[in-house]
Amino acid sequence: MKKNFVLNTLAATLLLFTACKKDFLNRTPQDAYSNSSLWTSANDATAALAGIYNGQGWSYSDDGNGWAGATWTVYLDCASDNAYSQYPWEGFQAYGNGTVNPSTGDASAYNYTAITRCNFFLANIDKTPMDASLKANMKAQVRFIRAYEYFVMSQLYGDVPLVTTLLTPQESLASVRTPKADVIKFILSELAAAAPDLSVVNNSGDGHISQGAALALKARVELYNGDYTDCVTDCQAVMKMGYTLYPSYSDLFRMVAQVNNPEVIASVQYVENPSANSNGVLGVMPSNSSGGWSSIDPTKNLVDAYEMDNGKPITDPASGYDPANPYANRDPRLAATILYPGAPFKQAGAVTTTYFDPLDASSPDYYASGNNTSPSGYVVKKYTSNLSDFDNLWQSGLNMPIIRYAEVLLSDAEAKIEQGIIDQTVYTDINTVRNRAGMPSVDQSVYNSQATLRALVRNERRVEFAFEGLRWFDIQRWKIGPQAMSGTVYGASTGTVDPATGKYTITGAPLTIENRVFADKNYLWPIPQSEIDLDKNIKQNPGY
């Protein structure tokens, strides 16, 4: 719906979806817009649907988008071992280091605004005189969005109130948490019911939910909950819809890949400056010299996860890894995702290449300056690899992919591996993703068992989807929190960068960022205390 007239005139319509903020269930929308006059034509229904896509969905989000957003997607990796959030007021630092409590969990996804909008739409759309198939398609899109919201909340909090109809104020303050298993059952049934009424695929760049998106999300939910057989079935269905990988991994996250991208199954849409619907998160990623904040700081642990370009991990003595030249001959996705000491880059509008130097005290990117520079010496490069793509990093039109075809391929492989199915299709899935990035095919003499392939596909997911909001969910479902989330977090090694050549010379130890703790309670986030204060029926998660 990008650049759609509806979005430019939505301010009044969005009043329809403004809920009372005194309770977390965001009671039935209170407004002056006449509900009886709204649902009189297909144009009205389109405007209401636009409000659901475009309205603010999560409490920690300035994205202006209702069902997902760039801010949440990239910051969520700070709750994992991929990144460190250096500014505690941005809401994610305490989730990463394990010190979060019900009163400090500022990055809350426990918000029912989007759910209420969806329920309101579904409660009223049937009265609209319009084409029946178009109406069914719109309803299916809304059911997907509602299912996605419940997917996120149930993953982060476990049991959550399952609200599928509009509630009175009294009802909203008497809700109880529904068991996660029942919420998951609802999500899967909703996606299955919605899929037949959706367009098969939608890679035109307008952001509307497709049948491919419904089945891909259904496969994700099934994978996360151990339903491997159905996951494979849904992955296979999506794989027959015509999606393919975009030829260039680095360009996949640029403006040039916005329209007719055959890999993007679902994305959040933005409109370039000047607009309230612009993507404002890009500015938090680059370092000070590029006008950014270095809010999301990659870790050494993530950097070390990228293999050598011969397909061997850096821990393999035969890999050719040189600790004195740690970024040479690595998986190309490393350079496409992270700006490391000595990495070449160009400032917006620049003709000459600059080499990133976070280690020199005189550099504007010096790690210890405290001036919007990265304490880890690493900066997120994905999404901002070409700064000249943007007139304004804080008001860009870069869309945010939420589900990519690469995920479907790796999910198909993982679900088969977990069932003990080791056949050529597993290798084909993984190789397709690796080869697109410039990596060699899997060495089947090394990766020939469930255990070795499980380790491989898990690492493949990590490096392929870094800063796309999936790593924390993987840590959670694989139950690897103590290994991944405990101990000291490190950054780049101290040293020097030659300003003329970019040669990086290590002279000292890795930078120390913070110490983290992890307990079993951290597999779920605490329910914000403010929500419990509003509704005494809502009980806190164990350990908080």
Task: List, for residues 77-109, the tens digit of each pLDDT value.
Answer: 999 999 999 999 999 999 999 999 998 866 788
pLDDT digits (tens, 9 = 90+) for 21-31: 334 344 444 44
| Cα angle for residues 411, 469, 222 (degrees, 5° grid) | 35
Orientation of helix 180-194 relative to helix 132-157, angle to 10°: 160
pLDDT level of residue 35 (50, 70, 90 thresholds):
low
pLDDT at 175 over 90: no
**pLDDT in the model for residue 465:** 98
- How far apart CA 515 and CA 532 sit, in angstroms, is 30
Query: Would 392 be classed as within a structural domain?
Result: no
> Is there a domain that residue 445 lies in?
no
- Lowest mean pLDDT of 106-115, 289-298, 401-410, name the range: 106-115
Angle between helices 424-437 and 405-418 (to 10 degrees): 150
Q: What is the pLDDT of residue 56?
A: 42
pLDDT band at 205 (very low <50, low <70, confident <90, very high): low
Task: Using alpha carbons, select from 543, 539, 540 the residue that is nearest to residue 523.
Answer: 543
Res 208: pLDDT: 93
Q: What residues make up the domain containing 101?
A: 5-198+524-534
Q: Can you tell me the mean pLDDT for 280-290? A: 95
pLDDT (tens digit, 9 = 90+) per residue, 381-434?
A: 999 999 999 999 999 999 999 999 999 999 999 999 999 999 999 999 999 999
Q: Over 90: is that where the pLDDT of 541 sits?
A: yes
Across the chain, what does the average pLDDT equal? 90
Mean pLDDT of 512-531: 95
Q: What is the SS3 assignment for 251?
A: helix
| Structure tokens, 303 | 């950097």
DSSP 8-state symbol, 279: B
**pLDDT for residue 58:** 36
Q: Is residue 70 very low, low, confident or very high in pLDDT (cuts 50, 70, 90)?
A: confident
The answer to the question of residue 183 being in a domain is yes
Assess whether pLDDT exceeds 50 at residue 374.
yes
Q: How confident is the model at residue 12 (pLDDT cuts 50, 70, 90)?
A: very low
Tell me whether residue 89 is in a domain. yes
Q: Which is higher by pLDDT, 28 or 244? A: 244
Q: Across residues 9-13, what is the average pLDDT?
A: 32
The CA-based diameter of the chain, rounded to the nearest angstrom, is: 72
Query: Which of 231-245, 271-285, 286-300, 529-543 comes out lowest in average pLDDT?
Result: 271-285
Residue 186 domain-assigned (yes or no): yes
| Contact by Cβ (8 Å): 156, 183 | no
Smallest Cα–Cα separation from 453: which of 424, 477, 426, 475?
A: 426
Mean pLDDT of 241-268: 95
The pLDDT of residue 247 is 97
Helices (H), 158-254: 169-172, 180-194, 211-224, 228-239
pLDDT for residue 66: 65
Please say if the pLDDT value at position 511 is more than 80: yes
When comparing pLDDT for 68 and 82, which is higher? 82
The model's pTM? 0.92
pLDDT band for position 10 (cuts 50, 70, 90): very low
**For residue 15, pLDDT beyond 60:** no
- CB atoms under 10 Å from CB of 427, counted, come to 18
**36 confidence band (pLDDT: 50, 70, 90):** low
Residue 153 placed within a domain: yes
pLDDT at 410: 99
* Res. 69 pLDDT band, cuts 50 70 90: confident
Q: According to the model, what pLDDT value does residue 18 have?
A: 34
pLDDT above 80 for 34: no
Band (531; pLDDT cuts 50, 70, 90) = confident
Question: pLDDT: is 278 or 35 the higher one?
Answer: 278
With cut-offs at 50, 70 and 90, classify the pLDDT of residue 61.
very low
51 within domain boundaries? yes
Segment 366-388 mean pLDDT: 97
Residue 143: inside a domain: yes
Count of structural domains, the chain: 1
Query: Predicted confidence band at 62 (pLDDT cuts at 50, 70, 90)?
Result: very low
Q: Treating both helix axes as pointing N-terminal to C-terminal, what angle do 132-157 and 211-224 enclose, rounded to 10 degrees?
A: 20
**Looking at the predicted structure, is the pLDDT value of residue 16 above 80?**
no
Return the minimum-mean-pLDDT range out of 27-41, 90-104, 108-122, 310-324. Answer: 27-41
Whether residue 243 has pLDDT greater than 70 = yes
CATH of the domain at 144: 1.25.40.390
For residue 64, pLDDT beyond 90 = no
Q: What is the pLDDT of residue 57?
A: 35
The beta strands (E) that lie in 358-445 are given as 379-380, 400-404
